[in-house]
């Protein structure tokens, strides 16, 4: 009994420590997404508080639902053709046949989970289930955020393959929390997405490349701080990663907004109530 409790505690700690962008980062992504909403869905800006409050719900769920965990990452460099072509099979059914479902579960289903959540949002909009739509959108934003966190896209997700264990939490949680007030970005114009699945895979392919920059920054910051994870270490890590970190968070918010906007269009542009946040 004690052993089972111990294992459960370890699992919870691991899930929390490997939560993409941490709670503060996900809240930032979801809350900022509404500033990108175009005028046609301006009433959905009422969702801001709800999207922020529920930004980390998927991380909380996966602590008690093992099937949720593989929806938050993809070790894309474990897929056979990725290293050579920088792409993998994107169609889910074709991927299951080529890789096997067991392989996909082990190596993550993030892009397909994002796509299925988008489709669920379309259905919420079609049925005018506004509260469910908000909750689904919060989940969608979380998965989009995961897809913009480089360490959620690689088999070296916590630096163990390069003797940098713990980089995951140091970067996405501790550093982000320390410098959250410096993470600011402006909104820009969003547009309807032509092919949602390709759109999701494209930003995953694009964001993967920041993995090496992040690992290098960690090594340099550690060495400069006398091989201690001190305030000096975090100052140097932030200095080296600030540019692409803010870019990734901004892109997360914009991508979330574009997916929500596209889902609304695909659902037939249902009329959005004036006070949509207060509806059940």
Three-state SS for 11-57 is HHHHHHHCCCCHHHHHHHHHHHHHHHCCHHHHHHHHHHHHHHHCCCH
Nearest to 41 by CA among 132, 130, 152: 130
pLDDT the model gives residue 280: 65
Element (H, E) at 238: helix 231-266
Q: How far apart are CA 134 and CA 44, in angstroms?
A: 9
pLDDT the model gives residue 67: 86
**Contact predicate 49/30, CB 8 Å:** no
Q: How far apart are CA 182 and CA 196, in angstroms?
A: 31
Would you give the end-to-end CA distance of the chain in angstroms?
A: 41
Q: How far apart are CA 200 and CA 203, in angstroms?
A: 6
- Which phi and psi angles does 227 have, rounded to 5°? 60, 45
Q: What letter does residue 147 receive in the DSSP assignment?
A: H
pLDDT the model gives residue 19: 55
pLDDT the model gives residue 187: 94
pLDDT the model gives residue 64: 74
Q: How far apart are CA 32 and CA 186, in angstroms?
A: 9
Cα distances (angstroms) measured from residue 202 to each of 60, 206, 270: 27, 6, 28
Tokens (6 digits) for 271: 């009329």
* pTM for the full predicted model: 0.92
Q: How far apart are CA 136 and CA 155, in angstroms?
A: 28
Q: How far apart are CA 213 and CA 242, in angstroms?
A: 11
Nearest to 147 by CA among 112, 175, 123: 112
**Contact predicate 144/54, CB 8 Å:** no
Domain 2-278 has CATH 3.50.50.60: no
Residues of the chain falling short of pLDDT 70? 1-20, 280
- Give the other-Cβ count within 10 Å of 161's Cβ: 12
pLDDT the model gives residue 73: 97
- Give the other-Cβ count within 10 Å of 268's Cβ: 9
Q: Which residues contact 220 (CB under 8 A, 6 or more apart)?
A: 236, 240
């Amino acid at each position: 009994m004690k052993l089972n409790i111990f294992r459960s505690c370890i699992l919870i700690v691991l899930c929390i420590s490997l939560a993409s962008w941490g709670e503060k980062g996900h809240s930032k992504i979801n809350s900022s997404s509404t500033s990108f909403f175009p005028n046609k869905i301006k009433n959905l800006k009422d969702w801001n508080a709800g999207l922020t409050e529920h930004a980390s719900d998927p991380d909380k769920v996966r602590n008690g639902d093992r099937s949720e965990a593989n929806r938050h990452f993809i070790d894309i460099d474990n897929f056979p053709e990725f290293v050579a072509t920088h792409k993998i099979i994107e169609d889910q059914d074709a991927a299951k046949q080529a890789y096997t479902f067991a392989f996909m579960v082990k190596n993550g289903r993030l892009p397909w989970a994002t796509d299925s959540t988008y489709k669920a949002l379309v259905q919420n909009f079609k049925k005018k289930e506004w509260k469910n739509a908000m909750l689904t959108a919060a989940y969608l934003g979380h998965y989009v955020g995961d897809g913009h966190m480089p360490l959620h896209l690689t088999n070296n997700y916590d630096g163990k393959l390069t003797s940098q264990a713990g980089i995951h939490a140091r970067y996405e949680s501790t550093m982000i929390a320390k410098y959250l007030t410096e993470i600011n970005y402006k909104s820009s114009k969003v547009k309807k997405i032509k092919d949602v699945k390709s759109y999701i895979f494209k930003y995953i392919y694009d964001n993967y490349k920041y993995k090496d920059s992040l690992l290098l920054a960690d090594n340099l910051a550690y060495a400069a701080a006398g091989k201690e994870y001190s305030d000096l270490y975090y100052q140097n890590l932030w200095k080296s990663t600030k540019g692409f970190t803010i870019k990734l968070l901004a892109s997360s918010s914009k991508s979330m907004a574009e997916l929500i906007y596209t889902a609304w269009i695909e659902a037939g542009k249902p009329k959005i109530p004036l006070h949509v946040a207060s509806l059940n």
